Amino acid sequence: MGISYNEKTRIFKLDTPNTSYCFGVEDSFGYLLHHYYGRRLAADGVGYLTRTGEYPFTPDRNGREKLSFLNAAPFEYPMGGMGDFREHCLEIRTREGYNTLEAGFRDYEIRRGKRPLAGLPATFGTEADCASLTVRLTDDVVGLTVELEYTVFEDLDAITRSARICNQGKGTVWLTKALSACLDEEDRDFSMLSLHGAWARERGIQYRKLGYGRQGVFSERGVSSHQDQPFLGLTTPGITQTQGEVYGFHLVYSGNFEAQTEVSQFNMTRTLLGINPYNFCWELKPGEAFQTPEVVMVYSCAGLGSMTRTYHDLYRRHLIRGPWRDRKRPVLINNWEATHFDFDLEKLLDIAREAAKAGIEMLVMDDGWFGNRFDDNRALGDWFVNEEKLPGGLDRLARELNGLGLKFGLWIEPEMVSPDSDLFRSHPDWAIQTPGREPGRCRNQYVLDLTRAEVLEYVWQRIRSILSSANIEYVKWDMNRQLSDLGSLGLPPRRQGELYHRYVLAVYELQERLVRTFPNLLLENCSGGGGRFDPGMLYYSPQIWCSDNTDAVERLKIQEGTALLYPLSTIGAHVSDCPNHYMGRTVPFETRGHVALAGTFGYELDVTGISGEDRAQIPGQVAMYHRYNDLVREGDYYRLASCRENGAYDCWQINAKDGSQALVTYVQVMSRVNFPSRRVRLEGLEPGKTYRVEQTGQTYGGDVLMYAGLPVEPLSGDFRSRQYTLIRI
């Protein structure tokens, strides 16, 4: 495993345990062409795959058909303006207004370990667990150098890629498009896999058969968005959890993105990911460099499940940071669905007392604790405690909760400002806006221009002051609107096209300050639910609120799509009250607990107002969480059945890394009559071992459970669930 370069064939070969990625240098100019990505190869004899020995040949051999070569060659990092009429990774404009760019191979560097990306979240590794490659391409006419960065991880089938564009010329260059990675390969009747949705129904799994032309997913909202995940997969026909090939591409970024595949007239597919070029124009002066975000590529020839487990392991080991990554997180109760804005100190303490009796470990105070915040039409930005609601402030509440044995957590939305707020009245220019136009409102709020140093510093000082005022051990960081009316009074006219990206960098800077200043803080990101659920945010927070829709049945689909890429430990999931606030559906309390266990687990309800029967189940659910959390947080996830596909039932399995136990969760979404019981075929067990099902006492061979199936007892009624614990004996 690792990285090599064959000086004779001029081919780079990147090996993971089960995959190989090959590209090489062609022609005397030094075109960098892609050769192969797929199952592990023993050697690099793949140069013939570029077909440069066929018409139209390389420009060295056939100068009269250079454009035909450029428009068909499988480029590793395609650039615009010279005759490749497909999508490009990099496009520029010079001071003279020209846009041509053609960079050839200059040199390379192979090393152990992995360098961080300046100002951006990215995977990390040590010299012991990964190797990296930098390939430099230069355009001497423009004076631009492109550094392509690759990392392979020793024990994971993942490869990361990014690009750094350096201006080594004498004149300013404007980047009008700067994507992170490209993969050119032959089309094999691929379908495109994406995660699509909207508020309260995020990350629904979608397949689309590729056709000629350009197709993909994107965001122009300033955030990665509820609507599309910064992910694209290419799947071969008949893909399932256990068979078929899939190429996964995931962008570690929290702003506007583009993930696109183009099928050319020659039946080649070109897949590109990176920052969306919409309203993007970056001024690059001599001596300056621009760093693109990272793309995580995963190839699997053993179905979607193998891809999923690779992403899970990579993100758990090499993206999530901090002390909470590998620790059991406290069972919390959030007061939002219990009280909305209508609460005071006594109401919170009433909830806290009942919660403590039931074994809950933290109370999180949501929106409404600051300024004149009695509804969502005012006071964002006025981050000062409302002592009419909370006499004695946050410190008194924290001490009261700590005295009950509970930790204290706090909701905050620091990126926003209400038009009706003291902050906006004092600094109306601090909101993102186009001069001469009133900014559009969303949730009756504006976005603060964090790209301005004075605004970022003010927000940071308020955050630091709040968190220093009391024993606050958890923060839920919310962001409830998109960016629009793009304009910054802190940027000159020629640099307004940098605002979208600079905003994301500012958010990253704030969160980096937060986790460094308060290293033991448990941070949960949120954006109107799952509107900024992306790998970039995981670099700062080990968990993200999955969706504002807490209905357990809807969560089956939302959490299935989320878990396709993200570890269960990152999925913010709570047991909420019924009828559900959004769906009006009533689901058994037991089922709500089983679904929330496939996430961070907590409560979103008024524990003083629910039925005694439901309240009596909380201690058992808390005990269930404590028993299984290490397994859920660290184990291998298998998707066994999908109610999204079959309309009837859902089932997933989590196996301990050492194979000692497994947990199977089965949810009967719709009941049926006059049918025999179901059998669910398990995965990942040892065929020659015996397993005891704790709930029934029955023993089965691992081969029997995988090839014949686990019998599931008949359940009466809709939305019923069961758990089965398998112990290897």
Structure tokens of 692?
């005891």
Strands (E) across 343-445 are located at 362-365, 407-412, 416-417
| Nearest-angstrom CA–CA distance, 717 and 591 | 12
Question: In 3D, which of 74, 63, 139, 82 has the Cα closest to residue 105?
Answer: 139
- Name the active-site residue from 313, 478, 551, 606: 478
- Name the active-site residue from 548, 577, 606, 650: 548
* Neighbour order of strands in the sheet with 11-15: 2-6, 11-15, 19-26, 31-39
The answer to whether residue 15 is catalytic is no
In contact, 588 and 615? CB cutoff 8 Å: no
| Single-letter amino acid, residue 222 | G
Residue with tokens 């002066």: 285
The H or E element that residue 2 is part of is strand 2-6
Residue with tokens 């621009």: 290
The angle at the Cα of 374, spanning 372 to 380, to the nearest 5 degrees, equals 55
Query: Phi-psi bin for 436: left (phi > 0), alpha (psi -120 to 50), beta?
Result: left
| Single-letter amino acid, residue 300 | S
* Residue-wise DSSP of 143-157: TEEEEEEEEEETTSS
Strands (E) across 563-620 are located at 571-572, 575-576, 602-604
Strands 130-139 and 201-209: unpaired
* Residue-wise DSSP of 189-242: S-EEEEEEEETTEEEEEEEEE--SEEEEEEE-SSSS-SSB-SEEEEE-TT--SS
The answer to whether residue 155 is catalytic is no
Question: In 3D, which of 304, 22, 313 has the Cα closest to residue 183?
Answer: 22
Active site residues: 478, 548
